[in-house]
Structure formats: structure tokens, C-alpha cells
């Protein structure tokens, strides 16, 4: 009976600091236990839905997308106390209509319904009920609460409401059993609730379904989950009456374990599979499109307008059109038009043009510098013809996804550009992307040490963990002798590190992606769940909830040494005969160190080289030469983009030193450490740094007599502004 149960009540790590189930492990374990279906039902959000969907599909599991919503009486009422404000409600998408309704409900809950938690009410639930399964949920559900308070008539009335709204085939009474015992040694009321639900099932003829309120994958993860709860609540493990689960049975139980829990309810067990088998959702079926860019009436098509903009840019960048420029420009425009991405470049050009016309400096980076079209449009500042940057590294006919142009804007003016885009294409069509902040090595140690009340030892451990990118606790343990000695010689340190190793990498909080902005042709809630960027200020907008002789021509500029990724591309295309699509896949396999995949290209590479006149042994040596380089070679277009910026700043620093340092210090004014470094640099270059002066300072650092005058503080700045206004008056 290995496939006779499906887990429908599942919290992943995206039930932030409450769920401890990593998606990959969860799917693998479900598959290993013979289950064919698995749900995701995180608290009030759908952060992990797409990751979960893809993992399930890859693992041969039917993914069921859902949420455990927070239901309140009136989601617009913010007057009620937090603990009395909501009930849990399990919702599962039966089909794509149900999935889109989940998106809508989640967006509403996380925007207009937000009050400490993302909430919905029955009015909006009824409006978006189609295509959804609903259950009475856990002990925190609305019906369970009424039953346990002996408000039987109200509970029955509620049950009838759900059955009427969702349909008798879509509403189930949810039965659980975790053998919970509270701190005062009183048993959980779950057993009593199950009897009341069974009675309701008999009297109202509402079907039951068995679930396990799953918060971690393995039974032995219960302790780590308890630590996670303490991180969430800011408590220590020793804190009396803190939030904790009533047992260690909230894990991915096997079908056999679930059957043993409810031997008298086989139909409720099998109902979990019956529900799961009806759930078929494809969240990737309906994709957003680029918004339509309105062109001036004198142009017959967007392509013609794009071409005209590029021709104008050629005159500005080069002075005149040459045959070489025209050929490359037409090649790029035709390819972009063929793939349907002309609107992308018009949109990109439009907001870059807006930024520059409003004095907002911006610079493109990455492979976009290989596009002559982007250069003539003013999107990039690097001439790809001069530096032999391949357009195909940026875009080619075999590429299925959209072009990717990364733009850098000053931190203090980026918001202006985002607001411009949102105003132009519609507030509901534009949103920034969410980011997930995970527990890094040092943070996980600090969290665990605090929870255990062992901060002193925690500090000792964190001081021994190296600082820098890609630092993990295990690597530190393996590579730092003092840390390893502490781990082996101190029991408390070992306990902290062991627990931190389990928590490391877990999602801790959400943030806002500084530069990731989604723009679509219709409301984004049709494609992704949204939430307020800042619940305290709805005006700040919303964010989504969803990284030899034959080589002379290509290596001459780097003195015969492979330095850039682009050189590997040229070698693959021109020597091995790879297409641009194939060579890009080869490069990706190299950069990700997927050596099994890389080896799959070896035969074609050598064969192609030989056909182009390279000796067999030389071709083999060349392939071997490329292997270690692949993971470390730099994108040439990226390098060129930053080289140009570096040249600009170096020139300014050398020739306008005081002005450059004043601008730098103004930009970094909020970072005391960077200001200290800048002051030290000024002294090194004999640039005097003058202190703030109420009569001379401005809101920014300024140049005075060849030196840099410190800026006024914010309060003083307002005083100065007022005073100067009086003087002018």
C-alpha cells in the first residue's frame, strides 16, 4: 500500500522560520516512501510554489499547489487583537483556474488584507472559490475552534457554508493525530476534535481526509525545528511557556505510518489520494508578455522605429554609417525582430533615455556590451566592434529566453527609474522581485548560540569562521584548525555547530531585489502572487513572491592565453564548428563544472577541429586546455563594461581629485567605515579634509579651496536651508 496516501498539509522552509522542510529533500523522501503525490501549503504565501513544482516534476511526483491561508471576519478591519484575528484554512488548487484563484487570494491577503499577517475573509474567498479544494484545517481552523468551544450549531453552519460555496465534492473535514502533550502534561485536544469531526461527518455527510501537519522531513529534525521556532520568536530553548510544538510527529510519515494512525478510517486515508489525483496544475502554462510600446505615428512598425533610433545613434557614436556598421546593425535588428524582442529593446532604451535625460547616471554590464544595437541606442557605452565582442554571446537564434541587459543605477536614484516605468506601463503591471535571505555560516551559529543561551561560545566560533563569499560552516570546519579543535574539544561548541550545520542555508526572511523589476502587458497577479513591498507604507508598491596557429585570430589580444569566456565561444564556433546555441550550452556546462556534461561535447569538439585542419593531438590538447579555464574565465563584454567605468573614474580621480573624493564621500555618506577609508585616501593624496561648518557646509560634501568640506548633519542641513532661504529673501 506504498502509494495509498498523499501528504496534503505540508509546510516547507517558505513558511518562514516555521517550516523546516527543504524542497529537494522533501520530494526525494516522498518518492523513496512510494508516494506519487505531494502538496505545498505554506502559511499565507506561495514563495516556494515554482521551485516545488519543478522539483516534483523532476522527481516523478505530482505537485499539488496550495496554501494554508489566514481567514479573518473582515480583512479590512485592523482593530482586532493579533491572537484573535485569524483562523487557518487549507486551500488546494484542483486545476489552473484554482491556481489563478490562489494567486489572486494570496495577492489580496498580502496587500489589502495585511494586518500583521496576510489575511482573507469569506467575502473574497467566495468570489475566488472556483477550482479549489478546501479543508477544515488543523486545530487552528475556524470549524475546529468552534467545535472545541462546544459551539456546535455555529460549527455546523460554517461547514454547510463551505460545502455550499465550494461544492460537496470539494470540501473535506481534516483529521490529524500527532499525540501531542502540552507543557502542563495535558494532552492535545486533537483526539477530542477528531471525535467531533467524525460526528459532523456522519450527521452532515461531509467526507473526511487524513493529513499530517508536516513541518519537517525526518522525525529527528524535530529538535532543529524547535530551534527555528525560537529564532522566529526571539526566545531561548529554556524560556518557559514559549511557542513550541506539542510533539515530534510533525514529519513526513510514510503511508504505512499514516494507516497505523487511523486503522478505522481507511476511506479518510484514501481520500488524500483521491483529492491528489484530481489535482493537475501547470503554473507555467500562462506566461506574461512584454507590454506594448507605443511608437510615433510616422513609423509603420516597432522594428522601423528601432532601426531609426539606431541610425540616429550611429551618427552620434561614429559620425557616419559604414558598411561594416550597417551590416552588423541589420544582422542584430533582424535577429531580435525574428525572435519577437523588439519591444524589449524599445522599453530598455526608453527608461535608459529617461534616466540620462534626468541626470541619472547609468551603465550596462554583462554580455549586452557585445551588442552594437545597444551601443547605438545609448544603453551600453562600449563599442563592441573595437573590442571584438560577440553579439552571439549576448543573443543568438537558438536562444529561447529573453535578452538580458543588466543596468546599474545610483542607489539613491534607482527608485525614480522604477517609478517612471510603473507610471508608464501601469502600477499593477510592474513590481520588484522578492529575494530570500538565508542563514549564512556565521548567522546560523549566532542564532543557535543565542537560542541555547551560549552567546559567548557562539562568538568564539564565529570569530574563527572566515569572512568572504562562498564561506560555509563545513568548509570552515574542515579548513580552520582552531575551529576544528574547538569543535572536538568542547561539547557545547560541538552542539552549536551541529545544529547550525542543519540550519545553514535555510530561508530566514524576505527582502526586495534592488534591481530585479518585472514588467508585463497585464496585471502581474495573473502570473505571480504579489505582496506589499513595505506593509507600513502601501505607496511604496508591490513585489513578487516568485542565478596554436589556429588560435591566433581569437587569442592575439591576450597574447595567446585564453582569458575570456568569449574566446572559448569563438574557438567552439570557428574551430569545432559548434552553433552559437550549442557553444553557449558548452560554456554553461564548463562554468557550472558539470564535467559529465562537458565530456559529452568532447567527441564533437575534436571531430570539428580536425575537419577544420587541426591535428588530432592538437585538438585533444586544446580541449584539455579549455577544461580548467571554463569555470574561471571572465565574460569579456562584462570586463569591457567595467573597464570603461574604471577608466572614467580613474581619470576623474587623477585630474579632479577633490571633486571626485567629495562625490564619493557624498555617495557613501551613510557608511561610516567607507567614509573613514575615503578620508584616509584623501590624506594619502594630500587633499585636505575640512570639518563640518555651519556657515560653509552643505547637505553633501563639497570642494573648498582644493580640499573637501564635510557635509552638515541632517538637522543642521534643514537649518542651513531655512537660513539661506531667509538670506535670499
Rounded alpha-carbon distances, angstroms, from residue 412 to 416, 516, 670: 9, 16, 11
- Report pLDDT for 618: 76
How many angstroms separate the CA atoms of 518 and 426, rounded?
Answer: 12
- Report pLDDT for 185: 87
pLDDT digits (tens, 9 = 90+) for 408-455: 888 889 899 999 999 999 999 999 889 888 999 999 999 999 999 999
pLDDT digits (tens, 9 = 90+) for 268-320: 999 999 999 999 999 988 888 889 899 999 999 999 999 999 999 999 999 99
Query: At 116, is the secondary structure helix, strand, or coil?
Result: coil
Planar angle of CA 358, 361, 364, nearest 5 degrees = 125
**pLDDT (mean) for 98-120:** 95
Least confident piece of the model among 44-48, 51-55, 78-82: 78-82
- Report pLDDT for 625: 73
Q: CATH top-level class for 23-278?
A: alpha beta
Q: Indicate if the alpha-carbon torsion angle 562, 568, 570, 574 is positive or negative.
A: positive
**Strand ranges inside 220-321, DSSP E:** none
Least confident piece of the model among 36-50, 214-228, 357-371, 373-387: 357-371
- Report pLDDT for 535: 84
- Flag whether pLDDT at 346 surpasses 90: yes
DSSP 10: B
- Report pLDDT for 702: 94
Planar angle of CA 56, 60, 62, nearest 5 degrees = 60
- Flag whether pLDDT at 188 surpasses 80: yes
- Flag whether pLDDT at 56 surpasses 90: yes
How many angstroms separate the CA atoms of 640 and 381, rounded?
Answer: 9
* Rg, Å, the chain Cα set: 31
How many angstroms separate the CA atoms of 607 and 265, rounded?
Answer: 65
**pLDDT (mean) for 336-346:** 93
**pLDDT (mean) for 470-492:** 94
**pLDDT (mean) for 671-693:** 92
- Report pLDDT for 555: 54
Q: Indicate if the alpha-carbon torsion angle 45, 145, 116, 83 is positive or negative.
A: negative
pLDDT digits (tens, 9 = 90+) for 534-569: 888 888 888 888 734 445 445 545 544 556 667 777
Least confident piece of the model among 7-16, 225-234, 526-535, 709-718: 709-718
- Report pLDDT for 600: 84
Least confident piece of the model among 172-176, 376-380, 501-505, 665-669: 665-669
Which residues, listed in sequence order, are joined to residue 627 by a DSSP beta bridge? none
How many angstroms separate the CA atoms of 712 and 155, rounded?
Answer: 64
- Report pLDDT for 82: 60
- Flag whether pLDDT at 91 surpasses 70: yes
How many angstroms separate the CA atoms of 304 and 309, rounded?
Answer: 9
Which one is predicted more confidently, 572 or 473?
A: 473
Confidence of residue 31 (pLDDT cuts 50, 70, 90): very high
- Flag whether pLDDT at 343 surpasses 80: yes
How many angstroms separate the CA atoms of 534 and 522, rounded?
Answer: 23
Least confident piece of the model among 127-141, 278-292, 437-451, 637-651: 637-651
- Report pLDDT for 560: 47
Residues 321/385, Cβ–Cβ less than 8 Å: no
Given the C-alpha cell 535670499, which residue does it identify? 728
- Report pLDDT for 654: 92
Confidence of residue 724 (pLDDT cuts 50, 70, 90): low
- Report pLDDT for 631: 54
- Report pLDDT for 249: 97
The CATH H-level (homologous superfamily) assignment of domain 440-505 is: Bacterial DNA polymerase III alpha subunit, thumb domain (1.10.10.1600)
**pLDDT (mean) for 4-25:** 95
Domain assignments of the chain as residue spans, ordered by start: 23-278, 287-425, 440-505, 549-636, 657-728
* Cα torsion through 42, 45, 46, 51, rounded to 10: -60
The set of cell numbers assigned to 309 is 533610433
How many angstroms separate the CA atoms of 356 and 413, rounded?
Answer: 11
- Report pLDDT for 721: 54
Query: β-pairing, 707-709 with 689-690?
Result: parallel
- Flag whether pLDDT at 330 surpasses 70: yes
Q: How distant is the alpha carbon of residue 666 from its chain centre?
A: 31
| Cβ neighbour number for residue 713 with a 10 Å cutoff | 13
- Report pLDDT for 311: 97
| Cβ neighbour number for residue 157 with a 10 Å cutoff | 12
Residues 87/119, Cβ–Cβ less than 8 Å: no
**pLDDT (mean) for 82-91:** 83
Confidence of residue 715 (pLDDT cuts 50, 70, 90): very low
How many angstroms separate the CA atoms of 691 and 694, rounded?
Answer: 10
- Report pLDDT for 83: 58
CA neighbor of 690 nearest in space, from 710, 674, 720: 710
Determine the number of helices (DSSP H) and then strands (DSSP E) in the chain: 31, 16
| Cβ neighbour number for residue 665 with a 10 Å cutoff | 24
Largest CA distance in the chain: 90
How many angstroms separate the CA atoms of 446 and 94, rounded?
Answer: 42
DSSP 168: T
CA neighbor of 511 nearest in space, from 19, 152, 91, 16: 16
Given the C-alpha cell 557550472, which residue does it identify? 592
Confidence of residue 714 (pLDDT cuts 50, 70, 90): very low
* Per-position DSSP letters for 304-326, written without gaps between them: HHHHHHHHHHHHHHHSS--HHHH
Average pLDDT, the chain: 89
The set of cell numbers assigned to 233 is 520568536
Which one is predicted more confidently, 563 or 154?
A: 154
Which residues, listed in sequence order, are joined to residue 704 by a DSSP beta bridge? 707
**pLDDT (mean) for 609-621:** 78
Least confident piece of the model among 105-119, 228-242, 318-332, 557-571: 557-571
Amino acid at each position: 500500500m506504498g502509494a495509498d496516501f498523499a501528504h496534503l498539509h505540508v509546510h516547507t522552509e517558505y513558511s518562514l522560520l516555521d517550516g523546516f522542510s527543504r524542497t529537494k529533500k522533501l520530494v526525494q523522501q516522498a518518492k523513496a516512501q512510494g508516494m506519487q503525490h505531494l502538496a505545498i501549503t505554506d502559511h499565507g504565501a506561495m514563495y516556494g510554489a515554482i521551485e516545488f513544482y519543478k522539483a516534483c516534476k523532476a522527481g516523478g511526483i505530482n505537485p499539488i499547489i496550495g496554501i494554508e491561508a489566514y481567514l479573518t471576519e473582515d480583512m479590512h478591519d485592523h482593530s482586532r487583537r493579533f491572537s484573535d484575528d485569524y483562523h487557518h484554512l487549507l486551500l488546494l488548487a484542483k486545476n489552473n483556474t484554482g491556481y489563478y484563484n490562489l494567486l489572486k487570494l494570496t495577492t489580496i491577503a498580502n496587500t489589502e488584507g495585511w494586518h500583521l499577517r496576510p489575511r482573507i475573509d469569506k467575502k473574497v474567498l467566495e468570489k475566488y472559490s472556483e477550482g479549489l479544494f478546501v479543508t477544515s484545517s488543523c486545530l487552528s481552523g475556524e470549524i475546529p475552534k468552534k467545535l472545541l468551544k462546544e459551539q456546535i450549531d455555529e460549527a455546523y453552519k460554517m461547514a454547510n457554508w463551505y460545502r455550499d460555496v465550494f461544492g460537496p465534492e470539494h470540501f473535506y473535514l481534516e483529521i490529524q493525530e500527532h499525540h501531542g502533550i502540552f507543557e502542563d502534561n495535558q494532552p492535545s485536544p486533537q483526539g477530542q476534535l477528531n471525535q467531533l469531526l467524525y460526528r459532523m461527518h456522519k450527521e452532515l455527510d461531509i467526507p473526511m481526509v487524513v493529513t499530517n501537519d508536516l513541518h519537517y522531513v525526518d522525525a529527528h529534525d524535530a529538535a532543529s525545528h524547535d530551534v527555528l521556532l525560537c529564532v522566529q520568536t526571539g526566545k531561548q530553548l529554556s524560556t518557559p511557556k514559549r511557542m513550541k510544538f506539542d510533539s515530534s510527529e510533525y514529519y513526513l510519515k510514510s503511508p504505512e505510518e499514516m494507516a497505523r494512525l487511523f486503522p478505522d478510517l481507511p476511506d479518510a486515508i484514501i481520500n488524500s489520494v483521491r483529492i491528489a489525483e484530481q489535482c493537475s496544475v501547470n503554473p507555467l502554462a500562462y506566461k506574461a508578455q512584454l507590454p506594448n510600446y507605443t511608437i510615433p505615428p510616422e513609423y509603420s512598425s516597432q522594428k522601423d522605429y528601432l532601426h531609426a533610433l539606431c541610425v540616429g545613434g550611429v551618427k552620434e557614436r561614429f559620425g557616419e554609417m559604414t558598411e561594416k556598421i550597417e551590416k552588423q546593425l541589420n544582422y542584430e535588428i533582424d535577429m531580435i525582430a525574428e525572435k519577437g524582442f523588439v519591444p524589449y529593446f524599445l522599453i530598455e532604451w526608453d527608461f535608459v533615455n529617461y534616466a540620462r535625460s534626468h541626470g541619472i547616471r547609468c551603465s550596462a554590464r554583462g554580455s549586452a556590451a557585445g551588442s552594437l544595437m545597444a551601443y547605438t541606442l545609448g544603453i551600453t557605452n562600449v563599442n563592441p566592434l573595437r573590442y571584438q565582442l560577440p553579439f552571439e554571446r549576448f543573443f543568438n537564434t537558438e536562444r529561447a529566453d529573453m535578452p538580458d541587459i543588466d543596468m546599474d543605477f545610483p542607489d539613491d536614484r534607482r527608485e525614480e527609474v522604477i517609478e517612471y516605468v510603473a507610471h508608464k506601463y501601469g502600477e499593477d503591471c510592474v513590481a520588484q522581485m522578492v529575494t530570500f535571505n538565508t542563514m549564512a555560516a556565521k548567522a546560523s551559529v549566532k542564532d543557535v548560540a543565542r537560542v541555547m543561551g551560549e552567546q559567548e561560545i557562539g562568538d568564539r566560533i564565529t570569530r574563527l569562521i572566515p569572512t568572504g563569499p562562498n564561506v560555509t560552516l563545513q568548509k570552515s570546519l574542515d579548513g580552520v584548525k582552531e575551529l576544528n579543535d574547538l569543535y572536538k574539544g568542547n561539547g557545547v561548541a560541538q552542539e552549536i555547530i551541529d545544529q547550525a550545520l542543519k540550519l545553514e542555508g535555510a530561508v530566514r526572511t524576505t527582502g526586495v531585489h534592488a534591481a530585479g523589476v518585472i514588467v508585463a502587458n497585464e496585471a502581474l497577479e495573473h502570473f505571480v502572487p504579489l505582496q506589499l513591498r513595505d506593509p507600513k507604507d502601501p505607496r511604496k508598491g508591490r513585489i513578487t513572491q516568485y542565478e596554436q596557429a589556429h588560435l591566433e585570430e581569437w587569442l592575439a589580444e591576450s597574447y595567446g592565453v585564453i582569458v575570456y569566456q568569449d574566446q572559448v565561444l569563438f574557438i567552439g564556433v570557428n574551430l569545432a564548428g559548434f552553433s552559437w546555441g550549442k557553444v553557449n550550452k558548452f560554456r554553461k556546462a564548463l562554468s557550472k563544472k558539470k564535467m559529465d556534461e562537458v565530456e559529452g561535447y568532447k567527441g564533437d569538439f575534436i571531430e570539428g577541429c580536425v575537419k577544420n585542419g587541426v591535428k588530432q593531438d592538437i585538438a585533444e590538447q586544446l580541449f584539455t586546455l579549455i577544461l580548467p579555464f571554463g569555470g574561471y574565465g571572465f565574460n569579456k563584454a562584462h570586463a569591457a563594461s567595467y573597464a570603461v567605468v574604471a577608466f572614467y573614474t580613474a581619470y576623474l580621480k587623477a585630474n579632479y581629485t577633490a571633486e571626485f573624493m567629495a562625490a564619493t564621500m557624498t555617495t557613501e555618506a551613510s557608511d561610516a567605515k567607507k567614509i573613514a577609508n575615503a578620508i584616509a585616501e584623501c590624506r594619502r593624496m594630500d587633499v585636505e579634509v575640512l570639518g563640518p561648518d555651519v556657515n560653509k557646509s552643505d547637505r553633501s560634501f563639497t570642494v573648498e579651496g582644493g580640499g573637501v568640506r564635510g557635509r552638515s548633519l541632517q538637522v543642521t542641513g534643514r537649518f542651513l536651508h531655512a537660513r539661506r532661504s531667509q538670506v535670499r529673501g
